[in-house]
């Protein structure tokens, strides 16, 4: 049986979804990929746009990454065993 998944009130109030652990793992993996792509876009923009254009656009990229990280963090709270090793505190 899946577990309830909820985002904090800053995002969507009282949103709860029953999610299976395997589904959470796949979603977290996809989120990691999207975050990596956004990071690549940010680096590309930094290297290829004038600073004024970069500054105007990076806010949106950063905001998008932050929202996706929030979803991933919620998944990790729900299923602590799916936290990637590189995100675990040292010695954990």
**26-81 pLDDT, tens digit each:** 999 999 999 999 999 999 999 999 999 999 999 999 999 999 999 998 898 889 99
- Look at residue 18 and tell me whether its pLDDT is greater than 80: no
CB 78 within 8 A of CB 3: yes
- C-alpha to C-alpha distance for 84 and 42, rounded to whole angstroms: 23
Q: What is the pLDDT of residue 48?
A: 98
Instruction: Output the CA angle 74-9-80, nearest 5 degrees.
Output: 15
87 — pLDDT class (breaks 50, 70, 90): confident
Q: What is the pLDDT of residue 12?
A: 45
pLDDT for the residue numbered 13: 39
The CA distances from residue 72 to 27, 29, 46, in Å, are 8, 9, 26
Long-range contacts of 80-89 (CB under 8 A, 24+ apart): 82/21, 82/24, 82/25, 82/28, 84/32
Relative to beta strand 3-6, strand 16-19 is: antiparallel
Residues 65 and 35 sit within 8 Å (Cβ to Cβ):
yes
Does residue 91 or residue 43 have the better pLDDT?
A: 43
């Amino acid at each position: 049986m899946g577990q309830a998944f909820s985002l904090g009130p800053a995002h969507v109030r009282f949103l709860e979804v029953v999610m299976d652990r395997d589904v959470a793992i796949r979603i977290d993996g996809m989120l990691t990929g999207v975050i990596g792509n956004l990071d690549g876009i940010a680096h590309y923009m930094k290297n290829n746009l004038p600073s004024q254009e970069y500054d105007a656009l990076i806010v949106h990229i950063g905001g998008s990454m932050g929202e996706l990280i929030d979803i991933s963090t919620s998944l990790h709270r729900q299923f602590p065993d799916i936290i990637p090793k590189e995100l675990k505190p040292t010695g954990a």
